[in-house]
A and B are shown apart, each in its own frame.
Chain A
Amino acid sequence: MVSAAMTAEGTRSMSEAGDSLAIETSGLVKSFGGTRAVDGIDLTVPAGTVYGVLGPNGAGKTTTVRMLATLLRPDGGQARVFGHDVVREADAVRSRVSLTGQYASVDEDLTGMENLVLLSRLLGYRKPAARERAVTLLEAFGLTEAADRQVKNYSGGMRRRLDIAASILNTPDLLFLDEPTTGLDPRSRNQVWDIVRAVVAHGTTVLLTTQYLEEADRLAERIAVIDRGKVIAEGTPGELKSSVGAGSVHVRLRDRWQREQARQVLARVLGTEVQLDADPVALTARIMDGDSRDRASAQASRALAELDEAGITVDDFSLGQPSLDEVFLALTGHPAEERDENEQEVAE
């Protein structure tokens, strides 16, 4: 058994050595009626990485993923997954990918165990092996206790975990996760993030769509920002951020009555508008003109010195990269979708 496993692993990684690109699309188009849901998307996803597709609701993320996963036929353009055309060689693509859709892709009437046994059988496991595989996966995903309960009685986080367990049952070479954390509480969201990291560490390529800038920033090595069916920016999280500005200075004061004075000092030194945060002792200022990191830190040091000179007590001073929220606003001219209110309430 063990030696068989090793042989299979060995053959598999060899066959993959040649595929340096997991996904390659050019001019991908899909229309529904009059609207172009996907309007000429070019993507290049290197194998073995997490690639983030970031965009607000209705941007065309799900439509793109469905075309790549062979569920929808593109109206125009080309898409290849590990070199296989998603239309002409759909079967070859299917044998290497799996999808966790935006809405549960498990059977709600069945139990968690039955779902995984069914899928194991469909992936070629024989009866006893299928059950064994299901048991192992349920345990790894913390679902043993819920194994014999119908999925309709699962919480959102458990359902999502089962869904991902089903998707990695066969250790795909490419895993599509369509908004895997939308609607999850922070604890479940962190679990999904850990799972994604483990899966990619194993060598599986992950294409993850999200509306959450923080999520793409944390997980993805490269990000495509899409809006209204078009890629409006592409690069590493760092590249995207520096295209907007060098960074922001975050200041926390000891005394709130000094904030107005601090605002004036910062505005003078940095030459930009200073934002007063919700926290009554905090301020944030964007450094706009510094296109290099060094200039930005020089300016920040000068600001700190001047605050000190003016007799303002600073508790905390930091120079951070701009958030992806700012990136989105700068790129599209409109802010990204707000998060669900429920989710912000849940504190960790």
Chain B
Amino acid sequence: MTATTTAPDRDPTAETISAVLSREVRPPRPGALSASLAFGWRAMLKIKHVPSQLFDITAFPIMITLMFTYLFGGALAGSTREYLQFLLPGIMVMSVVMTSMYTGMSVNIDISKGVFDRFRTLPIWRPAPMVGYILGDMFRYTAGALVILAVGLILGFRPDGGALGVLAGIALLVAFSFALSWLWTMLGLLVRTERSVMGISMLVLFPATFLSNILVDPKTMPGWLQVFVDLNLIAHLVAAVRGLMSGDAVVDELLWTAVCGGVLIAVFGTLTMRLYNRK
């Protein structure tokens, strides 16, 4: 054992310990909201201490926005500027949905450490730690979306829906990602290693984002693929976000997205909590 640090403080003694014990008053247990917010605060502290996480959520979106705009812009839409009006909302969805899998990874990393045991022995609202992860991630989603918006505006993205439409689009995207995160918390609890969480997430997210209306209009696809795109939740989300940002009424897509989000929370939220309690 190497003592890397020496504390010049006074060593704990029976007196110092008794003093902190005897003054103790047990406050009433916190409500569901304040417990969840405390865990959300923890997630923010983690971002503060491990800022490399922020690199992932900013560098990746910037890269794919630039890449796809210039790679496909000329070929698919005649001009990069024109393509950007179509691509940007989709790319925003793609990268935010992609970053949502970090939720599962942070859950999984925590389980392998003892701190998770401490949380599970606290007399708090049971889903609070899970909601906390997701609250922290919603910050990342919002940050990621805003970064892409900024890059888009620089490159010439001029949405017809105006500021309000764009904000509504981002809000919908963040809300849907909250719902989707429950799939990842479940996965994080279910799978043994962080690596396999990532592998499985990719296996779901790659087809879900690429086989969609994000990069190209599905009308150019073969019929069987159009059927898949039609069933793809992400495609409906993209249509809804795109509609909000371009100022078109897309009530049916909005409804679809809302219903899917609700179902995701109901199903995977329940499964997450069942696994969390059983672990």
Contact = CB atoms under 8 A, between A and B. Distances in A.
A106 B118 contact: yes
Interface in A58-92: 66, 69-71, 73, 91
Contact of A191 (B3, B11, B27, B28): B11
B5 A140 contact: no
A191 B10 CA distance: 11
Interface in B47-66: 49-50
A346 B3 CA distance: 11
B117 A124 contact: no
Given A99-B117, A104-B115, A105-B117, A94 B122 contact: yes
Contacts of A102: 114
Given A105-B114, A140-B20, A171-B24, A197 B121 contact: no
B223 interface: no
B191 interface: no
Contact of B38 (A70, A105, A121): A121
Interface in A181-234: 183-185, 191, 194-195, 197-199, 201-202, 204
Contacts of B41: 118, 121
A201 B14 contact: yes
A69 B123 CA distance: 11
A119 B124 CA distance: 11
Contacts, number: 174
Contact of B114 (A103, A146, A168, A201): A103
B177 to A, nearest CB: 23
Contacts of B3: 155, 157, 185
A105 B28 CA distance: 23
B18 A70 contact: no
B117 A201 contact: no
19 contacts: A69-B117, A71-B117, A94-B123, A99-B117, A101-B117, A103-B114, A122-B30, A122-B122, A122-B124, A124-B29, A126-B27, A139-B9, A142-B9, A145-B8, A155-B3, A198-B17, A199-B17, A199-B21, A204-B21
Interface of B: 1, 3-5, 7-30, 34-35, 38-39, 41-42, 45-46, 49-50, 113-115, 117-124, 128, 278-279
Q: Which 7 residue pairs are nearest across A and B when measured between Cβ atoms?
A: A198-B17, A124-B27, A95-B123, A105-B114, A142-B9, A171-B24, A121-B38
